[in-house]
């Protein structure tokens, strides 16, 4: 099974880290993975996105033309990816920064007030992990545990103290996703 996701938001929202982590976890589980970043034209700031594919077999194109899953951290990203989504695909949205509803009715939508959830967890910067946790719980490209392990190899040195809150964010996201799926 090939599972691809597009993660998209402002530069600085941790889009790349989330994507890399997912790819790293996939690799750790012995799967085929690709991680393709793409930056907007602006030097700094601007919108950034990445395409991550985790698969049991070789991956041809690393580009996801029409996503089955998208993690959307800001409004421009929703505007961009909503029309491209495959039918029945899932969009996971950072509700705090996306002040509109999804117009399509043939896709699944999970809105998370991630900015506030993150504040509750004690670190504004873990929005990306909350959304990633939710995605992984729903689509199961990798195990949450593997993600957590992967975190350790990314957050080293002075950043090691952030491991714990990031782990909790992943779990929180997963929990929200379970609720969501239960509701559905």
Partner 1 sequence: MGEKLLMKGSEAIAEAAIRAGAMAFFGYPITPQNETPEYFSRRMPELGRVFLQAESEVAAINMVYGAACTGTRAITTSSSPGISLMQEGFSYIANTNVPCVVVNAMRGGPGLGDIAPAQADYFQATKGGGHGDYHSIVIAPHTVQEEADLMFDAFELADKYRIMVVVLVDGLLGQMMEPVEFKDWVDVKKFKTPEWATVGQGDRAQRNILISFDILAEGLEKMNLVLQNKYAKIRENEVRFEEYKMDDADYAITAFGTVARIAKTTIELARNEGIKIGLIRPITLYPFPEKVIENRASNVKFFFDTEMNEGQMLEDVKLAVNGKKPVYFHGRLGGIVPTAEEILDEFKKHLGG
Partner 2 sequence: MKTIYKVPSAITSRDTTYCPGCTHGVAHRIVAELLDETGLTKKTVIVWPVGCSVFGYYFIGTDALIAAHGRACAMATGIKRVHPESFVMTYQGDGDLASIGIAETVHAAARGENITTVFINNGNYGMTGGQMSPTTLIGQVTTTSPYGRKPELNGFPLHVPEMLATMDGPAYIARGALDNPQHINQAKKFIQKAFTAQQKRLGYSLVELVSTCPTNWKMTPVESIERVKREVLPIFPLGEFRAVKGVE
State which of residues 6, 7, 17, 33 lies at the interface with partner 1 (CB under 8 A). Answer: 33
Examine residue 12 and tell whether it contacts partner 2 (CB under 8 A). no
State which of residues 15, 20, 166, 167 lies at the interface with partner 1 (CB under 8 A). Answer: 20
State which of residues 3, 5, 18, 34 lies at the interface with partner 1 (CB under 8 A). Answer: 34
Q: Residue 154: which of partner 2, partner 1, none does it interact with, CB under 5 to 8 A by kind?
A: none
Distances (CA, A) of 147 to 108, 109, 113, 120: 24, 23, 22, 22
Radius of gyration for the alpha carbons in the chain, expressed in angstroms and rounded? 15
Examine residue 183 and tell whether it contacts partner 2 (CB under 8 A). no
Q: How far is the CB of 31 from partner 1 (least distance, A)?
A: 9
Q: How far is the CB of 18 from partner 2 (least distance, A)?
A: 22
State which of residues 12, 40, 42, 56 lies at the interface with partner 2 (CB under 8 A). Answer: 42
Q: How far is the CB of 63 from partner 2 (least distance, A)?
A: 24
For the chain, give the secondary structure using H, E and C. Answer: CEEEEEEEEECCCCHHHHHHHHHHHHHHCCCEEEEEEEECCCCCCCEEEEEEEEECCCCCCCCCCCCCEEEECCHHHHHHHHHHCCCCCEEEEEHHHCCCCCCCCCCEEEEECHHHHHHHHCCHHHHHHHHHHHHHHHHCCCCHHHHHHHHHHHCCHHHHHHHHHHHHHHHHHHHHHHHHHHHC
Quick one: which segment of 37-45, 93-101, 139-147, 150-158 binds partner 2 (CB under 8 A)?
A: 37-45
Token pair recorded at residue 164: 């714990």
Q: How far is the CB of 39 from partner 1 (least distance, A)?
A: 9
State which of residues 30, 44, 99, 183 lies at the interface with partner 2 (CB under 8 A). Answer: 44
- Contact positions vs partner 2 (CB under 8 A): 42-44
The residue ranges that bind partner 1 (CB under 8 A) are 20, 23-24, 27, 32-38, 41, 60-63, 65-66
């Amino acid at each position: 099974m090939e599972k691809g996701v597009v993660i998209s938001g402002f530069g600085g929202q941790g889009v790349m880290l989330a994507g890399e982590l997912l790819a790293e976890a996939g690799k750790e589980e012995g799967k085929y993975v690709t991680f393709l970043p793409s930056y907007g034209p602006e030097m700094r700031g601007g919108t950034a996105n990445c395409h991550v594919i985790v698969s049991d077999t070789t991956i041809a194109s690393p580009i996801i033309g029409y996503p089955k899953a998208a993690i959307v951290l800001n409004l421009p990203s929703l505007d961009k990816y909503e029309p491209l989504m495959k039918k029945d695909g899932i969009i996971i949205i950072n509700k705090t920064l996306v002040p509109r509803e999804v117009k399509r009715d043939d896709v699944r939508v999970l809105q998370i007030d991630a900015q506030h959830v993150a504040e509750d967890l004690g670190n504004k910067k873990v929005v990306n992990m909350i959304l990633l946790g939710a995605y992984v719980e729903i689509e199961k490209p990798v195990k949450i545990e593997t993600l957590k392990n992967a975190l350790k190899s990314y957050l080293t040195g002075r950043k090691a103290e952030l491991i714990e809150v990031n782990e909790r964010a992943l779990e929180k996201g997963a929990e929200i996703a379970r609720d969501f799926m239960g509701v559905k």
